Structure 1
Amino acid sequence: MQRERRSGIVLNTAFPKELRIAGTIQDSIVDGPGIRYVIFTQGCPHHCPGCHNPQTHDFAGGHIADVEQILESIRQNPLLSGVTFSGGEPFCQAEALVPVAEAVKAMHKHLMIYTGYLYEQLLKMEEPGVQRLLKLADVLVDGPFLMAERNLTLQYRGSENQRVIDLAKTRAAGEIILYKSEYDEL
C-alpha cells in the first residue's frame, strides 16, 4: 500500500479515489444524533493506546468499498438521521470520501466525522479533499483518544480532551462552538 505524508496528513496514494473501509453499521444509535449509518474507514496514523477500533489501523487492511451499494443502503432507510464517518482516520481518505459526503448531503442527511486530528490542524492542511470534506460535515469529533482522560459518560466521545464541534456555527462565529444535540434537552 503506497502512503504519502503531505501537510501533516498521511494519505492513501495507491488508490486515492477508492475508499478502503473496515466495515459499516447500518443502524447505530451511539455514533451521533438519531439513527446513523456508520462507515469505518481503514487506516489510521494515530494508533491511540486504548483505541476502540484498533483493527482499523492497518492501511492495507479492510476492503475496497462498493460506494454505490453503501449509498443505496442509505437511500433505502428512511429512518436514518444521518451518516457518520469513523475509523480508522477518515481524513486520510478525504478525497475518496468527498463524493460520498456530497451524496449524503444531497439526501439531506446530517454528516458527522470522527478524527484523531484537531480541527485547527485540519484547517492548516493544504489537501483540497480535507478542506472540502470539512465544509460538507455538520459535526466534527476531534482529537486523539487519550486513555488517561477516558470517560464513559461522555456523549459521542471517549475522552475528555476530544471536542464535539458544530461546524456550521463554528464557521459563522469564527471560533469553536461545541455541538448541542436536540436530544440533550430531553
Structure 2
Amino acid sequence: MEYSETGRGTPEGEAQVRILNILYDSVVDGEGLRSVLFFSGCPHHCPGCHNPHSWSPQGGKVMKVWEVVEQALLNPINEVTLSGGDPFYQAETVRHVAKILKTNGKNLWAYTGYTLEFIQDRGSIAMKELLSYCDVLVDGGFELELRDPTLPFRGSSNQRIHRLGTW
C-alpha cells in the first residue's frame, strides 16, 4: 500500500485519534456489508445507550490516522461506518480519516448524537468538514422512551437517516 493511499507521512495522516474497535463485517451499522470504526468519546451519555463504555474520551487506544485508514483499506469492502462513541466528538482528527477514505472511494456512513442542523448551524469547522465526507448521516441521540427495535439502522424513532452523498 502506498503512503499516499493512507496519508502516512502527511500531517493529517500522522495525527492521533482514539479508537475503540474496528469491525470488518457488520450488517447492522448501515446498508450492506460494512467495516465499522468505533471512535472513543461521547458527550451525549444517552440513557440506555448500547455502547456506554465508549463515552470516555480516554477509552480505547491511540492510533495514527494513517494506521486506522490502513486497517480500513485492507478490507475489500467498499462501505465504512464511523461510529463510537460519537465520531463528531473527535472531529478534528476523524475528519482526516474520512477524507482519506473518501479519496480511496469508500462509501461513508456516520452515526452521531448531534443533529444535522446542529452540525450545520453551530458545529465547528472540523465537524462541518467531517460531515462533508459522509454519504449518509444517522443523527440524534438515542431516546429510551422512543426505542424501536424494528427501525433499520437506528435505535429510537427520533433518530434520522440523511442521505447526503451519492449512495
Q: TM-score, normalised by structure 1?
A: 0.77
The one of 20, 39, 42 equivalent to 2:40 is 42
- Alpha-carbon contact 2:119-2:127 (below 8 Å) kept: yes
Q: Separation in 1 of the partners of 2:164 and 2:83?
A: 17
1:18 equivalent in structure 2: 16
Output the amino acid matched with 1:95: E
Please state if 1:123 is matched with 2:120. yes
Output the amino acid matched with 2:146: E
Give CA deviations for 1:91-120 in whole Å, capped at 9, x if unaligned: 111110111111111121110100001110
The count of aligned residue pairs is 153
2:91 equivalent in structure 1: 94
- Of all paired residues, the percent bearing the same amino acid is 44
Q: Separation in 2 of the partners of 1:141 and 1:166?
A: 9
2:141 equivalent in structure 1: 144
Q: Separation in 2 of the partners of 1:58 and 1:76?
A: 28
Q: What is the CA-CA distance between 1:126 and the residue it aligns to?
A: 4.8
Q: Separation in 2 of the partners of 1:88 and 1:27?
A: 19
Q: Separation in 2 of the partners of 1:20 and 1:57?
A: 12
Q: 1:51 to 1:126 in 2, by over 3 A?
A: closer
Structure of higher RCO (CA pairs closer than 8 Å, 6+ residues apart): 2
Q: Separation in 1 of the partners of 2:137 and 2:23?
A: 19
Q: What is the CA-CA distance between 1:72 and the residue it aligns to?
A: 2.2
Q: 1:126 to 1:141 in 2, by over 3 A?
A: closer
- Alpha-carbon contact 2:43-2:55 (below 8 Å) kept: yes
Partner SS state of residue 165, structure 1 = strand
Give the gaps of 5 or more residues in structure 2.
1-14
Give CA deviations for 1:132-163 in whole Å, capped at 9, x if unaligned: 11111010000010111111111110000000
Give the gaps of 5 or more residues in structure 1.
1-16, 170-180, 182-186
Q: TM-score, normalised by structure 2?
A: 0.85
1:60 equivalent in structure 2: 58
Q: Separation in 2 of the partners of 1:26 and 1:125?
A: 33
CA RMSD across the alignment: 1.6
Q: What is the CA-CA distance between 1:123 and the residue it aligns to?
A: 0.7
2:155 equivalent in structure 1: 158
Give CA deviations for 1:44-98 in whole Å, capped at 9, x if unaligned: 11100000100000112221124333322322222x1311111111111111011
